[in-house]
Structure 1
Amino acid sequence: MALPPLSPEQRRAAPDKAAATGKERADVKGALKHGTLSLAEVLASDSEAVRKMPVRPARIAPDIGKVRAGKLLAEMGISDSRRVRGLGIQQRERLLERFAPKG
Structure 2
Amino acid sequence: MALPTLTPEQRAEALEKAAAARTARRALLDEVRGGRASIASVLARSAVDPIVAKTKVEALIRAVPGYGPARATEMLNRVGIAENRRVAGLGAKQVSALISEMS
Q: Give me the TM-score of the superposition, normalised by structure 1.
A: 0.82
Match of 1:53 in 2: 55
Alpha-carbon distance between aligned partners in 2 of 1:95 and 1:4, rounded to the nearest angstrom: 39
Alpha-carbon distance between aligned partners in 1 of 2:38 and 2:50, rounded to the nearest angstrom: 18
Match of 1:33 in 2: 33
**Given residue 62 of structure 2, which amino acid in structure 1 is its aligned partner?**
A
Computed over aligned residues only, the root mean square deviation of the Cα atoms, in angstroms, reads 1.9
Alpha-carbon distance between aligned partners in 2 of 1:21 and 1:41, rounded to the nearest angstrom: 20
Match of 1:97 in 2: 100
Unpaired runs of 5+ residues, structure 2, are none
- Displacement of 1:8 after TM fit? 5.1
Q: Give me the TM-score of the superposition, normalised by structure 2.
A: 0.82
Match of 1:72 in 2: 75
Pairing 1:12–2:15 present = no
Identity %: 39
User: Relative to 1, partners in 2 of residues 1:83 and 1:2: Cα closer, same or farther, differing over 3 Å?
Assistant: farther
Match of 1:84 in 2: 87
- Displacement of 1:72 after TM fit? 1.5
How many positions carry a matched residue from both structures?
99
Residue by residue, what CA displacement relative to the aligned partner does 1:21-80 show, whole Å, maximum 9, x if unpaired?
000000001110111011112112222122111111413x33243312211110111112
Match of 2:44 in 1: 44
User: Relative to 1, partners in 2 of residues 1:11 and 1:38: Cα closer, same or farther, differing over 3 Å?
Assistant: same
Name segments (4+ residues, structure 1) moved above 6 Å: none
